[in-house]
Structure 1
Amino acid sequence: MCEIFCFNSNTPKQVNQCLKCFYEHSEDHPHGWGLANVQSDEVFIDKEPIKATCSQHLKNILSHPVVGKNVFAHIRLATMGEIISPNCHPFTEADDNNRSWMLIHNGTIFDCPKLDKYIDKESGDTDSERILLYIIDKINEFEKDKGSLSTIKERFTLLSGIVEELSKNNKLNLMIYDGDMTYIHSNMKDSLHYLRNDDGLLIASTPVSDDENWQHVEINKLFALIDGNVIFESNPHENEFIFTPEHEKAMNEFLKSVTRDEIND
């Protein structure tokens, strides 16, 4: 599938070493990379549909200090969608009140027909982008009915319900940013880790340092972070994802088709 990374802190810190370690995992996730750095109210995004370790653009970025309070990264192993830039994470979209949302996803939507209506609306052809478009629609519906902007608590409650709904029969490791909060969710054991230190909070699919204090993110809960602290935590749902031989077969068939396309190109 993919790997995801997030740094969340109350003060800007340099994260080059962690990012370099993270992107080295692209040998097993060669279908694209992405990097998002939140600066004030603006999100700076770079991404390419090539292996991270082969990207001169990424090497140039990492040759300078990458400093931020909210930094996100992604490396892609395609399980759905072509190997093209619009399918690289992060995905971004604005809601009707001009709030910018960003999403990165590690997993696959195996069973969720209600996302199919976004196939003709998305820029690429991934299930991950459809998740974001669905979230935006739900936010727009809520704020239209309310007649005003949502509070951070209202958005967290809404996202908690959406995540529980979408996680049934699907792997849904998510990192979402709404301009105020970073949301973290995992529903597969041992597939997301965190480390809290003096710099802030690091979260990654695989530990990106030799520190022995990395821990597993608790599954089946949504967490909301601000300035390196968990400010909201949902009740647990029951939709743990367990990877089966059927899932593996479906993924391998898709990866074979990707390899054939790369050879033909």
Structure 2
Amino acid sequence: MCEIFCFNSNMPKKLNSCLECFYNHSENHPHGWGLANMQSDEFVIDKEPVKATCSQYLKDILSNPVVGKNVFAHIRLATVGEIISPNCHPFIEMDGNNRSWMLIHNGTIFDYPILEKYKDKENGDTDSERILLYIIDKVNEFEQAKGAPSTIKERFNLLTEIVNDLSRSNKLNLMIYDGEVTYIHSNMKESLYYLKNENEFLVATTPLDNNENWLQVELNKLFVLDDGNILYESSEHDNEFILTEEHERIMEEFLKNIDGE
């Protein structure tokens, strides 16, 4: 699958050392990399369908300070979709009220037929991009019915419902940014960790250093992070994802097809 990274803080911070450690994991996740730095409502996004450690483009980026308070990164091990730039995370999409959303995903959608209708609308061919398009449709439906833009609390409630439903039978480790706040969700044990310091969160698929304060993200809950603190936390759902031999067979078959191309 993939690895994901998020930094959320009330103050900008230089993150080069954390990002370099994260991208060094790409030996096992060679199908692309992405970096998103949210600066004053502007989404600065770079991505490439190249192994991160082999990317001169990424080396050039990291040779300069990467400073931000909302920063996201992704390295891809493909389970759905070709090895092309449109399939690299992060994905971005604008809702009906001109709010830009960003999503990165570590997981696979094995069973959620509703997403099939987005195959003709997405730029690439990943299940992850379909998740974002589905979320945008749900947000638009809610705001059209309300007749006004949604509040953060309303979007949190809506995403809680969506995530609770999507997580049935699917691995759904998500990081989402809606232009104001960050949403974090994990439903598989030992697949997402966080390090909390004063007014900042660092979240990653695996701990990025030997700091003993890294903890596993609590499973089956949706968290909203804002300025380095938890703003909202959902109740716990029952959809923990447990990897089976059948899941592994499906993913191995896909990787064999990629290697054979």
Shared fold per TM-score greater than 0.5: yes
Unaligned stretches of 5+ in structure 1? none
- Report what 2:144 is aligned to: 144
Are the aligned partners of 1:13 and 1:199 in contact in 2 as well (CA < 8 Å)? no
Q: Distance in 2 between matches of 1:209 and 1:175?
A: 21
Deviations 1:106-165 (A, max 9, x none): 000000000000000000000000000000000000000000010100000000000001
Deviations 1:69-122 (A, max 9, x none): 000000000000000000000000000100000000000000000000000000
SS in 2 for 1:13: strand
- Report what 1:58 is aligned to: 58
Q: How does 1:80-95 map to 2 (within 5 A)?
A: 80-95=80-95
Q: Deviation at 1:189?
A: 0.7
Q: Deviation at 1:17?
A: 0.4
Q: Distance in 2 between matches of 1:198 and 1:123?
A: 39
- Report what 1:44 is aligned to: 44
- Report what 1:207 is aligned to: 207
SS in 2 for 1:218: coil
Q: Distance in 1 between matches of 2:199 and 2:24?
A: 22
- Report what 1:109 is aligned to: 109
2:27 aligned with 1:13, yes or no? no
Are the aligned partners of 1:171 and 1:241 in contact in 2 as well (CA < 8 Å)? yes
Q: How does 1:123-162 map to 2 (within 5 A)?
A: 123-162=123-162
2:180 aligned with 1:180, yes or no? yes
Q: Distance in 2 between matches of 1:220 and 1:213?
A: 21
- Report what 1:100 is aligned to: 100
- Report what 2:248 is aligned to: 248
- Report what 1:222 is aligned to: 222
Are the aligned partners of 2:198 and 2:228 in contact in 1 as well (CA < 8 Å)? no
Q: Deviation at 1:200?
A: 1.6
Q: Distance in 1 between matches of 2:209 and 2:95?
A: 36
SS in 2 for 1:159: helix
Give the superposed CA RMSD.
Answer: 0.6
User: Percent identity, aligned pairs only?
Assistant: 73
Alignment length (residue pairs): 261
Q: Distance in 1 between matches of 2:204 and 2:56?
A: 23
Q: Distance in 2 between matches of 1:57 and 1:199?
A: 31
Are the aligned partners of 2:199 and 2:229 in contact in 1 as well (CA < 8 Å)? no
Q: Deviation at 1:199?
A: 6.8
Q: Deviation at 1:241?
A: 0.2
Q: What amino acid sits opposite 1:228 in the alignment?
A: G
Are the aligned partners of 2:199 and 2:227 in contact in 1 as well (CA < 8 Å)? no
Q: Distance in 2 between matches of 1:82 and 1:9?
A: 34
Deviations 1:195-248 (A, max 9, x none): 012472100001112211100000000000100000000000000000000000
Runs (4 or more) in structure 1 with deviation over 3 Å come to none
SS in 1 for 2:120: coil
